[in-house]
């Protein structure tokens, strides 16, 4: 079961959570893991939650306690590793939780990875994979930037460098030209680099704007501050900050992507060019993953890692629109997405291919007429754990609406809305890419519960050519709805139906007829069975 540390060693950890060291564990079937008390505790916690009708079944959700930012997504020794801010019940300060997967879909829990000490709490950060080890760099509250290293096959054992914190929090009264907050880490020409999250008061009227501060080191221990990292950013809002940063190449054209989180507006991205001589990231494009307030069922912080094709895999945690209490733990990660660039340099988003392994009970239909202003029930879509792939010819309609997780009498329903040309009869933005349309997701009628806070409607732009069919790929998972549009855009929302029959799907075309060219529906297996 691993070696448990108690007494003075446990006191040193300053955590009430049992801590274990593992020796030579290469497989999830190793007896040290299967007999481990934390692993048994996690399994029991998952079992106890199975009856929760709102708990997702194919989105990753941690086994116990609350869930916050994902951290340090990485691929090591044949496995994907996901770390996240966990809140163990006996010591609900942030520790790094840990899960492992072969395909980014079927996750297995592992014991807590990083415990607080000397930091008060283990906050967000990233990992960097080298040939013989993985480096974690993260923010330790009241301490500063921490470095921890693991080299065992399943990344079970982590050792903090003796020099941590390697970038210290400012002393009382000390004024620094940078903030000390969430770090990222990469390596170039034998030198390590990190950007720290923060703000600077250089916006209109002295207001704060997003800023990220670049450091470098030859040994992970001594870090030299260089300068602010990002230039030409016209995509951040006044009041944004650059938390949870991830910086990496994307695609084959030499572009880079900078993913981050704003505590005001949520998950965001910047695309641009990395000037390696000046060590500056020059922004050429940008956008949002979250399209409304940061709270109440929206997309939160990213964690990302390159895939084998040069694209970027990312997932986010989702804030809950329902007050969390014991026995009703429904905070979750989004589905993992693959980010890529199209031939115009715009960001595309698609779900990871491995999600198709969860499909069963396929049903199909084609040539379904949608009469103007009449709801048509898609009985194939009935269910609370579904994938729906719908290709639509809008014809002369400018707006189609889907009600999912709907009761037959419409007492509860979550709305998906696609607006052709942004809802205008004729509109063609000369943006060099295509026609401007919108996808919206609304949970204002999604729940009758009195402890649910409806979310401002998520509304995102998507570019669809004039004669191009609209393909909606809809994932419904108990209390989460995610919609991908033509593999270019995604909107996600938490919704919390209370009625047992709130599992129907209705479709309506507004104003003019439209046609569903093809429809595929699938039931989705649980990744926890």
List C-alpha distances in Å: 235 to 232, 243, 272, 288, 380. Answer: 9, 15, 12, 9, 41
Residues of the chain with CATH 2.115.10.20: 3-351
pLDDT at residue 323, rounded to an integer: 74
The 10 Å Cβ neighbour count of residue 180 is 20
Tokens 């520790």 locate to 95
pTM of the model: 0.95
Token pair, residue 250, equals: 């994307």
Residues of the chain with CATH 2.60.120.560: 359-524
Distance CA 296, CA 285 (A): 27
Q: What phi-psi label fits residue 382: left (phi over 0), alpha (psi between -120 and 50 degrees) or beta?
A: beta
Distance CA 211, CA 234 (A): 12
pLDDT at residue 2, rounded to an integer: 60
Tell me if 262 sits within 8 A of 237, measured CB to CB. Answer: yes
Low-confidence ranges of the chain (pLDDT < 70): 1-13, 324-329, 423-435
Torsion of CA 121, 54, 338, 518, to 10 degrees: -170
pLDDT at residue 421, rounded to an integer: 82
Alpha helices in 16-135 (DSSP H): 31-34, 37-49
Tell me if 471 sits within 8 A of 390, measured CB to CB. Answer: yes
Distance CA 361, CA 473 (A): 17
Tell me if 493 sits within 8 A of 507, measured CB to CB. Answer: no
Residue 278: asked if its preceding bond is cis (omega within 30°), the reply is no
Tell me if 493 sits within 8 A of 460, measured CB to CB. Answer: no
Tell me if 60 sits within 8 A of 303, measured CB to CB. Answer: no
pLDDT at residue 467, rounded to an integer: 82
Residues 6+ apart with CB under 8 A from 177: 213, 225
pLDDT at residue 331, rounded to an integer: 84
pLDDT at residue 514, rounded to an integer: 97
Distance CA 507, CA 370 (A): 8
CATH topology of domain 3-351: Tachylectin-2; Chain A (2.115.10)
Question: What is the domain class of 359-524 according to CATH?
Answer: mainly beta
């Amino acid at each position: 079961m691993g070696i448990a540390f108690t007494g003075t060693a446990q006191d040193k950890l300053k955590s009430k959570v049992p801590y274990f060291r593992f020796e030579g564990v290469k497989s999830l079937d190793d007896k040290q893991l299967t007999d481990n008390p934390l692993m048994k505790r996690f399994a029991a916690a998952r079992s106890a939650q199975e009856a929760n009708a709102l708990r997702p079944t194919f989105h990753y959700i941690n086994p116990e306690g609350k869930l916050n930012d994902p951290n340090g997504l990485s691929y090591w020794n044949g496995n994907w590793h996901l770390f996240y801010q966990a809140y163990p019940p006996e010591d609900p300060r942030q520790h790094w939780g840990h899960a492992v997967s072969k395909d980014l879909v079927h996750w297995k829990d592992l014991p807590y990875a990083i415990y607080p000490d000397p930091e008060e709490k283990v906050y967000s950060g990233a990992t960097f994979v080298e040939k013989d080890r993985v480096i974690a760099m993260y923010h330790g509250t009241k301490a500063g930037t921490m470095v921890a290293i693991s080299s065992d096959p399943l990344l079970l054992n982590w050792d903090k460098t003796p020099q941590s914190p390697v970038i210290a929090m400012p002393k009382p009264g000390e004024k620094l030209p940078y903030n000390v907050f969430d770090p990222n880490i990469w390596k170039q020409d034998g030198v390590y680099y990190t950007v720290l999250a923060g703000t600077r008061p250089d916006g209109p009227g002295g207001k704060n704007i997003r800023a990220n501060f670049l450091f470098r080191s030859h040994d992970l221990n001594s870090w030299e501050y260089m300068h602010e990292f990002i230039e030409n950013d016209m995509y951040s809002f006044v009041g944004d900050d650059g938390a949870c940063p991830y910086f990496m190449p994307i695609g084959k054209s030499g572009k880079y992507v900078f993913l981050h989180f704003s505590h005001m507006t949520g998950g965001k991205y910047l695309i641009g060019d990395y000037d390696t001589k000046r060590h500056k990231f020059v922004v050429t494009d940008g956008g949002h993953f979250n399209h409304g307030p940061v709270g109440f069922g929206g997309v939160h912080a990213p964690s990302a890692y390159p895939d084998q094709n040069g694209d970027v895999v990312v997932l986010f945690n989702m804030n809950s629109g329902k007050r969390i209490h014991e026995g009703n733990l429904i905070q979750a990660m989004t589905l993992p997405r693959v980010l890529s660039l199209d031939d115009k340099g715009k960001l595309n988003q698609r779900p990871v291919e491995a999600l198709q392994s969860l499909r069963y009970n396929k049903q199909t239909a084609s040539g379904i007429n949608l009469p103007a202003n009449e709801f048509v029930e898609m009985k194939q879509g009935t269910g609370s754990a579904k994938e729906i792939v719908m290709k639509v010819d809008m014809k002369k309609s400018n707006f189609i609406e889907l009600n999912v997780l709907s009761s037959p009498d419409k007492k509860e329903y979550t709305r998906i809305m696609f607006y052709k040309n942004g809802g205008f009869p004729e509109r063609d933005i000369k943006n060099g890419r295509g026609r401007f349309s919108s996808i919206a997701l609304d949970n204002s009628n999604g729940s009758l519960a009195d402890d649910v806070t409806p979310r401002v409607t998520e509304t995102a732009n998507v570019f669809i050519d004039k004669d191009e069919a609209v393909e909606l790929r809809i994932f419904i998972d108990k209390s989460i709805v995610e919609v991908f549009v033509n593999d270019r855009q995604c909107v996600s929302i938490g919704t919390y139906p209370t009625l047992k029959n709130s599992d129907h799907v209705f479709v309506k075309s507004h104003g003019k007829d439209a046609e569903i060219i093809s429809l595929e529906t699938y039931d989705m297996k649980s990744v926890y069975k």
